[in-house]
Structure 1
């Protein structure tokens, strides 16, 4: 199993197609974006090459490969307005393992470790993320990586006919 990562700098239509498939996958939507009701949960979002290029102006995106096949993406932005703890110099991270063959193999663990190293190279030492209350697998991954819960936001996302909390977690990146 060969896992590799690549910073996305020049997006192409093939990236847009893959991102659109992941962002509109009914299995992934509840895990990757907050929704206020069933209608939002079912909403399709179409990404264009222009929108992806614009996204790169405020988000660092890294592609995740398994045996040279694109299986996911991870990203971070610095000091976004949705931080729970407004601490300057914070990287907000996100990860999507879009292809089923990339899940449950420890790739997320390796990916987050890689992303943390990239964040440290930028001189940032605090990371924050949000994980939905029902996403136990992701919560376990983040705890295993040293993330600590710092708060919960009530009624944050809709899934399985009810509203769920968003759990906010943080980690300080310290050289070991």
Structure 2
């Protein structure tokens, strides 16, 4: 099993197609984006190549490959307005393992460690993230990597007929 990470600098229509597939995968939607109700969960979101080109102006995006197959992406943005703790020099991170064959193999752990190193190289000292309260697997991963809970935003996202909390976590590098 060979895992590698490549910074996305030149988006292609093939990458956009894969990202759109993951963004609209019913199994991933509740894990990757907040929704206010069932109809929001069912809406399709389509990114264009131009959208992705614009996104990399602010976000540092890394592609995750397993044996030369694109299986996920991770990204960070610096000091976004949705930080729970408004501390300058903070990277907000996100990760999606879009292909099922990439899940449960420790790839998320390796990927976040890699991204933390990239964030450190940028001179940033703090990382913040949000994880939905029902996503126990991700919570365990972040705790294992040293992230600590700093707050909760109640009734943040809808899933399985009810509203759930967003747990905000941080790590100092």
TM-score computed with the length of structure 2 as normaliser: 1.00
Indicate the SS of the match to 1:94. strand
Q: Structure 1 residue 94: deviation in Å?
A: 0.1
Secondary structure at 1:93 match in 2: strand
SS at match of 2:19: helix
| In structure 1, distance between residues paired with 2:43 and 2:168 | 25
Tell me if 1:142 matches 2:145: no
- For residues 84-136 of structure 1, what are the alpha-carbon distances to aligned partners after superposition, in whole Å with 9 as ceiling and x for unaligned? 00000000000000000000000000000000000000000100000000000
Distance 2:145 2:83 in 1: 20
Aligned to 1:171: 171
Distance in 1, Cα, partners of 2:43 & 2:99: 20
Partner of 1:8: 8
Residue 134 of structure 2 aligns to a residue whose secondary structure is coil
- Kindly indicate whether residue 47 of structure 2 is the aligned counterpart of residue 55 of structure 1: no
1:37 equivalent to 2:37? Answer yes
- What's the offset of the Cα at 1:18? 0.2
CA–CA separation in structure 2 for the residues paired with 1:38 and 1:82:
23
- Residue 25 of structure 1 aligns to a residue whose secondary structure is coil
SS at match of 1:45: coil
Match of 1:158?
Answer: 158
Task: Please give the alpha-carbon distance, in whole angstroms, between the structure 1 residues aligned to 2:141 and 2:59.
Answer: 22
After the TM superposition, which segments of 4 or more aligned residues of structure 1 sit over 4 Å from their partners?
A: none
TM-score w.r.t. structure 1 length? 0.98
Q: Which residue of 2 aligns with 1:77?
A: 77
Count of aligned pairs between the two proteins: 173
